[in-house]
Each structure stands twice: as C-alpha cells, then as structure tokens.
Amino acid sequence: MSNNPFVILGVDENASQSEILDAYKKKRSEYQEHLFDAGEAGDTAARKITELDDAYQRAMEIALNRATVTGEGSSTFEKVKQAIRNKNPEDAQKELDDITNRSAEWHYFQSIVFYEKNWLSDSKKQLEIALSMEPDNEKYSRALENLKKKIDGSKPYESNQDIYHQTTTQGAGGGRTYRQRSAGADASDGCCAACQALICADCCCECMGGDLIRCC
C-alpha cells in the first residue's frame, strides 16, 4: 500500500487544497458507512479512516507550502468572524468554502463553525489540523485543550466563547476571564475591607475601654 497521501486520497499531486478536501470528504464518508459493521469490515473501515485522516493532513500541508502566499481570504476571515458573532454558522461556512488557501487559520475557523453546529468530533479534528500546521500556536493549543475537556465532560461549556474566548483571556488572572476576575476581586476585596474595618474599630474601642468584638 502506497504511503503517498495523494495516492491514498485518489488525487493528483498538484491538486488544489479544495480538491484535496473534496476527495477527503468523499472517501471518509464511504468508510464512515461501514465503521460500525461487525467483524473485520468494521475494523478495516476504522483503519482506513485513520489512514485517510493522516493522508489528508499531510497532503494539505504539502499543498499549503506549495501555494503562493497572496493574502487571499484575509478580508473573508473578517466576514467569517462576523457571521460567527451573529450566531450564523451557515453564512460563516459559505465564506470559508470560498477560500481556496486552507491555512491553519482556515481550519481554526472551520473548527469554530463545526462547534457552533455541535459537531464536536469534527471541530476537534479541525483544531488538530490547525495545530499540526502551526505546532507553536498557543491559541490553537489552548482551544484544543478546552475542547477536549468539553468532549470528556470534565468541564461544562455553554458556547464557543468558553472554548475560543478563553484562549486570549488567560494570564495574570490565573486563566479566569476578566469578568470572573473582577467579580472575584469585588467579593473578596469587599469582605476583607469589612473585616479590616471591624478589627480596626475593635482595637480603637479597647483602647478607649470598650470591646466591639467580644471574641477578640
């Protein structure tokens, strides 16, 4: 069996990224139908899907490196982000489909669109592709970690903002959002200020012969 990703996908080695994606989707869909078949048929389908996923990632990396950097899609990503903010994943998907340069950022936004549709497994796969293309990208890494927690059920998330917004709000606040840090600070600071005021008043009363806090 050839290890050439283009042969596995059944496309020419000069295929565009969109052609690679179309071939990948078609073949994966065929194997997916037999994934839960009993016996050897199901095992073979599972192996083929794993092989296909790996071939797709490698072929896309090659195609991306081969492509001329033209800045294509820079304005379209703004439209994608706007559609996501408007909770309109279908429009975001249409904008993504029109971009032929399937960069790591493209896969990142595709992941967000899949997440909005509650396709968590597909969302995770897109993040993994983005991270494989840019292994040192901290934004993708944090988003993938948060998504894995969501899938594992170890932490409740309510929207894509929990997974994707938190990738830019961690830092000095220990990973909490600004709102969470502010709320925590207000509550704790208010409590501490009240306690300090009472203790101070008690000390003053005792100096004057009184006792405001009897247990102290």
Nearest-angstrom CA–CA distance, 213 and 215: 6
User: What is the per-residue pLDDT for 213?
Assistant: 42
User: What is the per-residue pLDDT for 73?
Assistant: 42
User: What is the per-residue pLDDT for 143?
Assistant: 92
User: What is the per-residue pLDDT for 37?
Assistant: 86
User: What is the per-residue pLDDT for 62?
Assistant: 85
What's the mean pLDDT when you consider all of the chain?
73
pLDDT band at 164 (very low <50, low <70, confident <90, very high): low
**Is the pLDDT higher at 10 or at 201?**
10
Contact of 31 with 52, CB cutoff 8 Å? yes
User: What is the per-residue pLDDT for 197?
Assistant: 42
Long-range contacts of 18-25, Cβ-Cβ distance < 8 Å, separation of 24 or more: 18/100, 18/102, 20/56, 20/59, 20/60, 20/63, 21/56, 21/60, 21/102, 24/52, 24/55, 24/56, 24/59
User: What is the per-residue pLDDT for 28?
Assistant: 92
Nearest-angstrom CA–CA distance, 120 and 116: 9
**Is the pLDDT higher at 190 or at 20?**
20
pLDDT band at 56 (very low <50, low <70, confident <90, very high): very high
Q: pLDDT, tens digit, for every residue of 74-103?
A: 455 888 888 999 889 999 999 888 887 788
Residue 106 pLDDT more than 70?
Answer: yes
Q: What share of the chain has pLDDT > 90, as a percent?
A: 32
User: What is the per-residue pLDDT for 76?
Assistant: 58
User: What is the per-residue pLDDT for 7?
Assistant: 93
Q: What share of the chain has pLDDT > 70, as a percent?
A: 65
User: What is the per-residue pLDDT for 3?
Assistant: 86
Q: pLDDT, tens digit, for every residue of 141-158?
A: 999 999 999 888 754 444
Q: Average pLDDT in the 126-154 region?
A: 88
Residue 128 pLDDT more than 90?
Answer: yes
Nearest-angstrom CA–CA distance, 109 and 18: 16
* CATH number for region 5-66: 1.10.287
Domain boundaries along the sequence of the chain: 5-66, 74-168, 177-216
